[in-house]
Structure 1
Amino acid sequence: MKHLFWIIGLLLTGSFAVFSQPAIASESAYTIQDSVQIPTRSGVSISAIIVRKKTNTVPLPAVLFYTTYYQNANDATFGKKSADRDYVGIVAYARGIKTNLKQYAPYEHEGTDVYDIIDWISKQSWCDGTVGMYGGSYTGYSQWATVKNCHPALKTIVPQVAVMPGYDMPMENNVQLNSGLYWSHDNIYKKEPLPRSLPFEWFEKGIAFKEMDSLAGYKNPIFQKWLTHPDYDNYWQSMVPTPEEYARIAIPILSTTGYYDGAQIGALQYFKLHHKYNKNANHYFVIGPYDHWGGQRKAAKKLMGYDIDPVADVSMMELAYQWLDYILKGKPKPELLKDKINYQVMGTNTWRHAPSLEKINTDTLTFYLNGKTLTSVRPKIRKSEKQILDFKNREQQNNYYTPEILFKNLDVSGGLLYTTPAFEQSFTINGSFIGKLSATISKKDMDISAALYELLPDGNYFFLTRYVGRASYAKNPSKRQLLQPGKKELIPFENTRFVSKKINAGSRLVLFLNSNKHPFEIINYGSGKAVASETLHDAGKPLQIEWHNDSYIRIPVAKE
């Protein structure tokens, strides 16, 4: 599927040990209750699996793994992992999953349903009245929905790679992703897998994005509903805590994600907003060189062709259980959590720690986009670089994507490259790069991609991070403001993925700037119509862009 979606140890003599995964006991060691129906105030029951170790006969804390995915009988494994650690393990499914799919509405009912699930759990004879939650992706989101109105029995959450509806899934900075169709088709409706050729067929035909599901022979209700909300509007915002609700969240929280996790900007935004509205937030954050899987389970030693540092080879699932033990059982705090922010610096084989995002850097590097270079000096003479994008030309794609983090050749795909001089001293990038683009375009809108790379002295490229966003929403994701053709516009951006890496002397930074035209994200033809309804017929003349040299990016760094 789309590249963005598949997108700690113990301190021993100065390094972090790799976690071992406890073996699951034999089936006979557990008491397993499947398809338990948990009542909710709505009258819709929730299907759940309850797992207890037979040797445990006294009430215990419960660990809830709430999920929107039903696979098979192996789902009980999540309950067994908790039971093996002397908890009661519960796997609960979103409403409609395993019962009546007509009742299913992704993201819409977790705020009340999970509260009722916890209430029921806390009153059972096998529960000591305390509950913790952990898990990733949709399961991570569900925990944030739950703490909008936190049940007294809920003592902690561990949201991992948590998606934020409307913010990073099924669209990122208001740019719709193919995963909006693939996700529900594969995981919810359980239909035959979509052919790998489908996005390319859509691309070649030039039909509207909202018609993509017709190529699979049906109308996908979830995909269609999401497309009616291209703004980050109340539909999406109501699913996550309000400022007042963030301020009331008093339970301890551990969040985990990865530099190459598709859901990272959502996971990071939860952390930012919690600390923004609650100055006393007891909330820890762990991030390293992980994708969507590694940020919630076990790290990949070779991630997209990159050999991660040995200290990064750890298990986020095991860290979650260590945190649950710390909060629910009074065991020692995980050794990695030396401060609120804990991040692994790629290329140094070290973890670093800081009390806040603002404290991890000592400087900011500003680079202006001037004549194919990234220069630290503001240009005195105003110039621009021109780009022409012919949407009708389907032979060429404008796509930043590379399947590997470390690679030899960068396909410019009709975009523009801006490069710094070689650095004389090493430094570390820590955080999310931001910027403001200055452009004059011939249409009313465009979708922008700005990818950041390190160009190593040996000529290889190292992919660091990327911004993708719709120009008409850059100033306000909740309200579309079309651009005026022929008028110079300022397009700010800030929602990019956090990354930490040492940039050695002799390396350069490269910014790859483009406007999207490829099969993996919606195509904005710039007519000003609802983008999901645009077709190739709306393309008209090629898009002409002037990128002005007062455009700049800012990169947070710690100097050596």
Structure 2
Amino acid sequence: MLKQTVSMYTRDRVRLDADVYYPDAEGEFPVLLMRQPYGRAIASTVVYAHPSWYAAQGYIVVIQDVRGRGTSEGEFKLFEHEIEDGFDTVNWAATLPRSNGKVGMYGFSYQGMTQLYAALNRPEPLKTICPAMLAPNLQHDWAYENGAFCLFANLGWAIQLAAETARLKGDEVAFLELSQAAKNMPLSDLIPAYPEVMQKYAQYDAYYQDWLNSEEAYWQKLTPDVSSIELPMLHIGGWFDTYMRGTLRSYQASSKKHLQHLIVGVWAHLPWGRKVGAIDYGADAVSFCDRAQIRWFDHFLKGSELTDPPVQLFEMGSNQWRSFSEFPHSSEQLLFLNSSGLAGMDDREGKLTTQQSNSAIDVIVHDPWRPVPALGGHVAYPCGSFERSAIDARSDVLTYTTDPLETDLHIAGEIVVELYASSDAASFDLCAVLSEVQPNGSVMNFSQGYLRSENSERAAYRIVLQPTCIRIRQGSAIRLSVSGACFPAYAVNAGIGKKPKDARAIEFQIITIELYSGESSQIRLPILPE
């Protein structure tokens, strides 16, 4: 393998540096490009094979530091230069020595977004991309979920990027303080969602203030229109990935004029292995994406035949891959919430049934001093499925459970929970978690969603949960758990109508939430046939 470090200049004369890996063979080859902000030597090897492996498959592999990161020049501002820089880089990569002029891109998370941005203006050499674990709608599928600020993921990433900027600037004091904050997240400051360390080192912040301020013009500028990208794409996601909603919507929005494939494993954002949370899903759960990407690139950049199924979904529970011609269109099964009014006191008092019952009111008293903690799911760390019966035993968590299933149930797609509720506060939150209650009594979460309401009116609140694919075994039951917090995955609601950036810890209120189980509060389950 031959590795070279080379540079290019953008249209505004900013130098961008890259490592280029060449095959150990003669001839011309297509180029695989990854553009990333973490130091090009990492090259996303937390989830992908090393670039040298891709080079050995007959590709020139380019791993580039984006503007202001690694050794590249310029100022790093989250995503703001990636359209023009991506376009320029694709055209430059196509002219590298021994390139045949064809370019493909791969990478996940930030590196997935750089693919979409590069493709927007249609550089001629770019023939295909493989975006993984991303959310093109940065506001609604990345920074916020149904109006709730994803505190832990957003703050953790902001501190990491700020610490790296301080390191690149040679500011050792800032680097060490930010690094310490990353290891011990500052969640109890004067303004909990905007800790003092981020205010102190605001000059190194690439995005966090903008995301807290949530100005519409900012989001519109950075949200790529996936439907305008006229390229074949291989989309990759994970059922416990923070950005799975965005991955699925990106796949669904992509132009069907070109081939669109989708792979979804059981994985969290990283790593892509067999164990996620507390469950070992078996050897088949390990990522095969490196080989799948090579087959994809071989087809579009070398003309080889492609026989992979268009959609491959890992089904939890059966722990096997299922193949489809498109993302499955499931039938809908309704489960209604029934209760005696004591669903927060005893997990036998709240029921999920196929029939509505008389109206009952269950009450949640959310205490900001002891908010319901996050455990697993797709936003907390670590992500995944965990035994949560101790959380369900809290009096500020309402539980509704089916009878044991008489047959296996296969669920695939987005689950919708509709809750009739009201509150005594100016604003309140609803967290909905779906779990499998196994015959031995274990309660294992498999999907969840979160919503922030900016009013207190008695109304139906619609929560779209994380997409999933799971078999619930005969003899197990399904449980819905409802609470008013999921901390620190999401910022705790102060209850006073202020945005997270303005809510001071001393202002946080006790919030009483009433949930009406007899007024069409229900779950809409997407069911696959056997």
The answer as to 2:504 corresponding to 1:527 is no
Is the 8 Å Cα contact of residues 213 and 501 (structure 2) preserved in structure 1?
no
Residues 236-272 of structure 1: CA distance to partner in whole angstroms, max 9, x if unpaired?
Answer: 2332333xx61x4332110111111122111112112
Question: What does 1:379-394 align with in structure 2 at a 5 Å threshold?
Answer: 379=357, 381-391=358-368, 394=369
Is the 8 Å Cα contact of residues 229 and 235 (structure 1) preserved in structure 2?
no
Deviation, 1:54, is 4.7
Question: What does 1:288-299 align with in structure 2 at a 5 Å threshold?
Answer: 288-294=265-271, 299=272
The partner residue of 1:376 within 348, 354, 367 is 354
What is the match of residue 515 of structure 2?
547
Deviation, 1:102, is 5.9
The answer as to 2:69 corresponding to 1:126 is no
Residues 132-177 of structure 1: CA distance to partner in whole angstroms, max 9, x if unpaired?
Answer: 0011111111112222222111011011112432233333333222
Q: 2:218, 2:82 → 1: CA distance? A: 14
The answer as to 2:66 corresponding to 1:94 is yes
Provide closer, same or farther for how the CA distance between residues 323 and 500 of structure 1 changes in structure 2, counting only shifts above 3 A: same
Deviation, 1:310, is 3.6
The answer as to 2:140 corresponding to 1:167 is yes
Question: What does 1:139-538 align with in structure 2 at a 5 Å threshold?
Answer: 139-164=111-136, 165-176=138-149, 177-187=151-161, 188-189=164-165, 190=167, 191-192=175-176, 193-195=179-181, 198-199=184-185, 202-203=187-188, 205=189, 207-213=191-197, 220-230=204-214, 233-242=216-225, 246=227, 248-274=228-254, 278-294=255-271, 299-333=272-306, 335=307, 337-338=308-309, 340-359=310-329, 361=330, 363-371=331-339, 372-379=350-357, 381-391=358-368, 394=369, 396-402=370-376, 405-407=385-387, 409-412=389-392, 413=394, 414-471=396-453, 482-483=454-455, 485=456, 487-494=457-464, 496-516=465-485, 518-538=487-507
TM-score, normalised relative to structure 2 = 0.86
The partner residue of 1:59 within 28, 46, 49 is 28
Q: 1:514, 1:65 → 2: CA distance? A: 41
Is the 8 Å Cα contact of residues 135 and 250 (structure 2) preserved in structure 1?
no
Provide closer, same or farther for how the CA distance between residues 195 and 40 of structure 1 changes in structure 2, counting only shifts above 3 A: closer
Q: 1:284, 1:221 → 2: CA distance? A: 36
The answer as to 2:4 corresponding to 1:33 is yes
Is the 8 Å Cα contact of residues 144 and 240 (structure 1) preserved in structure 2?
no
TM-score, normalised relative to structure 1 = 0.81
Is the 8 Å Cα contact of residues 431 and 486 (structure 2) preserved in structure 1?
no
Deviation, 1:385, is 0.8
Q: Which moved further from structure 2: 442-451 or 87-96? A: 442-451
Is the 8 Å Cα contact of residues 261 and 290 (structure 1) preserved in structure 2?
yes
The answer as to 2:14 corresponding to 1:44 is yes
Q: 1:553, 1:237 → 2: CA distance? A: 32
Deviation, 1:329, is 1.3
Is the 8 Å Cα contact of residues 156 and 182 (structure 2) preserved in structure 1?
no
Is the 8 Å Cα contact of residues 262 and 291 (structure 1) preserved in structure 2?
yes
Q: 1:195, 1:43 → 2: CA distance? A: 36
Q: 1:446, 1:330 → 2: CA distance? A: 55
Q: Which moved further from structure 2: 135-144 or 206-215? A: 206-215
Is the 8 Å Cα contact of residues 372 and 484 (structure 2) preserved in structure 1?
yes
Is the 8 Å Cα contact of residues 47 and 97 (structure 1) preserved in structure 2?
no
Letter of the 2:424 partner, please give it.
S
Aligned-partner SS, 1:51: strand
| Identity rate, percent | 22
Is the 8 Å Cα contact of residues 90 and 118 (structure 2) preserved in structure 1?
no
User: Which ranges in structure 1 are unaligned for 5 or more consecutive residues?
Assistant: 1-28, 472-481
CA RMSD of aligned residues (A): 2.6
Q: 2:42, 2:316 → 1: CA distance? A: 39
Residues 392-440 of structure 1: CA distance to partner in whole angstroms, max 9, x if unpaired?
Answer: xx2x231241466253734134221111111111120111211222111
Question: What does 1:16-27 align with in structure 2 at a 5 Å threshold?
Answer: none
What is the match of residue 38 of structure 2?
69
Q: 2:461, 2:235 → 1: CA distance? A: 31
Provide closer, same or farther for how the CA distance between residues 398 and 39 of structure 1 changes in structure 2, counting only shifts above 3 A: same
Letter of the 1:525 partner, please give it.
A
Deviation, 1:318, is 2.5
Provide closer, same or farther for how the CA distance between residues 373 and 249 of structure 1 changes in structure 2, counting only shifts above 3 A: same
Provide closer, same or farther for how the CA distance between residues 344 and 67 of structure 1 changes in structure 2, counting only shifts above 3 A: same
Aligned-partner SS, 2:373: coil
Aligned-partner SS, 1:532: coil
Q: Which moved further from structure 2: 527-536 or 97-106? A: 97-106
Provide closer, same or farther for how the CA distance between residues 406 and 100 of structure 1 changes in structure 2, counting only shifts above 3 A: closer
Provide closer, same or farther for how the CA distance between residues 59 and 240 of structure 1 changes in structure 2, counting only shifts above 3 A: farther
Aligned-partner SS, 2:140: coil
Aligned-partner SS, 1:179: helix
Deviation, 1:547, is 0.8
Is the 8 Å Cα contact of residues 78 and 207 (structure 2) preserved in structure 1?
no
User: Which ranges in structure 2 are unaligned for 5 or more consecutive residues?
Assistant: 168-174, 340-349, 377-381
Deviation, 1:234, is 3.6
Q: 1:59, 1:150 → 2: CA distance? A: 23
Is the 8 Å Cα contact of residues 250 and 282 (structure 1) preserved in structure 2?
no
